[in-house]
């Protein structure tokens, strides 16, 4: 069952300027593996984090680094969670995330669907180990 969905669009140049003006922003928003990526990839990942927050109905106290994007061996994006994001997802019964990201024409976009399959293990949803954090695509 779909619990929530979210979509976000980010202007890549504007986002890049924000990162340049506020050096600590990169550290506040992204986990170390994301910080080394080019601006268009960072913008798409930020859009994914915003879309995930919308799918969770924008919970207060969400820590941006508790949500990050990895890629499968085939290049498909995977939304991973821990801490504040995983706990809110568990509270809502969310145990699977679906994510699509793209960038073109100066814009980055992400769409997230939060799903409950009815098989969530609340203990694993809060795990800091990305392999245990959340079900994936």
Q: Spell out the SS3 assignment of 31-90.
A: CHHHHCCCHHHHHHHHHHHHHHHHHCCCCCCCCHHHEEEEECCCCCEEEEECHHHHHHHH
Answer yes or no: is 8 a known binding residue. Answer: yes
Answer yes or no: is 50 a known binding residue. Answer: yes
Binding site feature residues: 8, 50
Binding site feature residues for Mg(2+): 8, 50
């Amino acid at each position: 069952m779909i619990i929530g969905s979210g979509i976000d669009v980010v202007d890549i140049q504007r986002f890049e300027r924000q990162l340049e003006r506020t050096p600590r922003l990169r550290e506040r928003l992204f986990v170390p593996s994301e910080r080394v990526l080019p601006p268009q990839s960072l913008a798409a990942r930020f859009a994914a984090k915003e879309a995930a927050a919308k799918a969770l109905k924008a919970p207060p106290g969400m820590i941006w680094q508790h949500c990050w994007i990895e890629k499968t061996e085939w290049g498909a994006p995977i939304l991973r969670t821990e801490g504040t994001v995983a706990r809110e997802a568990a509270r809502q019964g969310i145990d699977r995330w679906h994510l699509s990201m793209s960038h073109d024409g100066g814009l980055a976009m992400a769409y997230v669907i939060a799903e409950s399959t009815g098989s969530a293990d609340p203990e694993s949803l809060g795990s800091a180990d990305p392999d245990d954090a959340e079900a994936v695509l």
